[in-house]
Amino acid sequence: MISIKGLSKLYKTKHQDVKAVDNVSLDIKKGEIYGVIGYSGAGKSTFIRLINRLEEPSNGEVLINDTNITGLSVGKLRKERQKIGMIFQHFNLLWSRTVYDNIAFPLEIAGVPSRERRDTVLELIELVGLKGREQAYPSQLSGGQKQRVGIARALANDPDVLLCDEATSALDPETTDDILDLLVSINEKLNLTIIMITHEMHVIQKICHRVAVMDQGKVVEHGDVLDVFVKPQSKTAKRFVQQLSPLEHKQDTLHRFITKDENSEVVKLHFIGNDAKRALITDVIKRFDIEVNILQGSISPTQEGAYGTLYVELKGAANTIQETTQYIRTSGVEVEVIRDVT
């Protein structure tokens, strides 16, 4: 669907050259919600603007449905952009136009006849949950309603791709969840490919199928959301995961729960998908002559299933502890022995 090859953007200044995007290559499947996350200055907003050439790339290619966007003339690019919708952090609405007229605007530019335009606009207003607000102006809308107008306007030309540049960062948490639910619904109903740019791991967790982590213009890690959450490889990804799982990488907090005992072992268990719902601890206690002390844990949902982390102390004979951890591993649960806690 989307193939990005060696994409780079170099800004030249008097004193230095700055690579905002540095040799990024990604493949995005049709119909998936793909997240791109990074801290401020990572290059993610420049990256998304390169996809539809709101910024001109210094190097590389962007292919959408086998069309090389980076090689199009201005006239052909204008036509191709009609199939690439975009929503922004600060809505970018026309303040002198009503909800209806804001959504109709791209259809007017495309030369769509008035009757067809009306049918499309009313359909989109209902899709994004703004029925009854057709004649309201942006100043009369809440932040969430403004973003719903932005989404409807981006969908007006029936795009294949929807680019979302920090689309929820100006919204409160409850409204953010509402907008994310709407995007998931649109993705499922229209089989629309969505690229989400964000600095919020909650957004990635809630709706994305796969994710790329950016730092200093480079993609430092990418893969399925569950894989990145459970086994973050880069320093940047680990910091983001810690935002949602404060237990991660804070093993010093376990000290207060643990009694130093030669006959005990502290382990971290990773549960993924259906394993997160299993009564594994009960099963272990029944099977082995071992004492299990639950120290702390958490479980989180993602678009691809739930994942959980559980820290436990196993107390018993050394060989029994070894048999227990082996049994847990064969049950499909990842086990990590925490040697440096005690």
Judge if 87 and 211 occupy the same domain: yes
Judge if 42 and 171 occupy the same domain: yes
Judge if 197 and 266 occupy the same domain: no
Whether 85 is in a domain gets the answer yes
Read off the pTM.
Answer: 0.83
Q: Which residues pair with 63 in a beta bridge?
A: 3, 68
Judge if 210 and 258 occupy the same domain: no
As a whole number, mean pLDDT of residues 213-228 equals: 94
What is the model's pLDDT at position 274? 63
Cβ neighbours, 10 Å, residue 301: 12
Whether 27 is in a domain gets the answer yes
Query: pLDDT tens digits for 287-310?
Result: 999 999 888 887 777 777 777 788
For residue 50, give the CATH number of its domain: 3.40.50.300
H helices within the chain, ranges in order? 44-51, 74-80, 99-109, 114-127, 143-155, 173-190, 201-207, 225-230, 235-244, 280-287, 318-330
What is the model's pLDDT at position 249? 46
Judge if 193 and 269 occupy the same domain: no
As a whole number, mean pLDDT of residues 116-122 equals: 96
Residue 276 reports pLDDT greater than 60: no
Judge if 39 and 186 occupy the same domain: yes
As a whole number, mean pLDDT of residues 162-190 equals: 94
As a whole number, mean pLDDT of residues 108-121 equals: 94
Judge if 235 and 273 occupy the same domain: no
Question: Cα angle vertex 327, ends 324, 328, to 5°?
Answer: 90
What is the model's pLDDT at position 17? 87
Whether 317 is in a domain gets the answer yes
Between 271 and 206, the more confident residue is 206
Residue 332 reports pLDDT greater than 90: no
Whether 63 is in a domain gets the answer yes
As a whole number, mean pLDDT of residues 190-213 equals: 94
From 195, 213, 244, give the residue that closes a domain.
Answer: 244
From 195, 214, 244, give the residue that closes a domain.
Answer: 244
- Model confidence at 342, pLDDT cuts 50, 70, 90, reads very low
Whether 342 is in a domain gets the answer no
Residue 136 reports pLDDT greater than 70: yes
Judge if 194 and 269 occupy the same domain: no
- Model confidence at 319, pLDDT cuts 50, 70, 90, reads very high
Look at the chain and report how many structural domains it folds into: 2
Between 155 and 258, the more confident residue is 155
Q: Sort 62 into a burial class: Cβ within 10 Å, 0-12 / 13-18 / 19+.
A: buried
Judge if 20 and 138 occupy the same domain: yes
Residue 254 reports pLDDT greater than 70: no
Residue 138 reports pLDDT greater than 80: yes
Judge if 159 and 290 occupy the same domain: no
Judge if 34 and 144 occupy the same domain: yes
What is the model's pLDDT at position 302? 78
Whether 149 is in a domain gets the answer yes
As a whole number, mean pLDDT of residues 146-168 equals: 95
As a whole number, mean pLDDT of residues 74-96 equals: 92
Q: What is the mean pLDDT of the chain?
A: 89
Q: Confirm if 35 and 58 have CB atoms less than 8 A apart.
A: no
Cβ within 8 Å of residue 5, ≥6 positions away: 25, 60, 61, 62, 63
Provide DSSP, 112-173: --HHHHHHHHHHHHHHTT-TT-TT--GGGS-HHHHHHHHHHHHHTT--SEEEEESTTTTS-H
Whether 99 is in a domain gets the answer yes
Distance CA 317, CA 324 (A): 11
Residue 256 reports pLDDT greater than 80: no
Weakest mean pLDDT among 67-71, 198-202, 261-265: 261-265
Of the candidates 316, 318, 312, 319, which has an alpha carbon nearest to the alpha carbon of residue 337? 312
What is the model's pLDDT at position 152? 97
Strands across the sheet containing 291-302: 291-302, 305-315, 264-272, 334-337
The whole domain housing 285 covers: 251-337
Residue 251 reports pLDDT greater than 60: no
From 199, 228, 244, give the residue that closes a domain.
Answer: 244
What is the model's pLDDT at position 278? 67
As a whole number, mean pLDDT of residues 62-74 equals: 92
Q: Confirm if 182 and 144 have CB atoms less than 8 A apart.
A: no
* DSSP annotation of 249: T
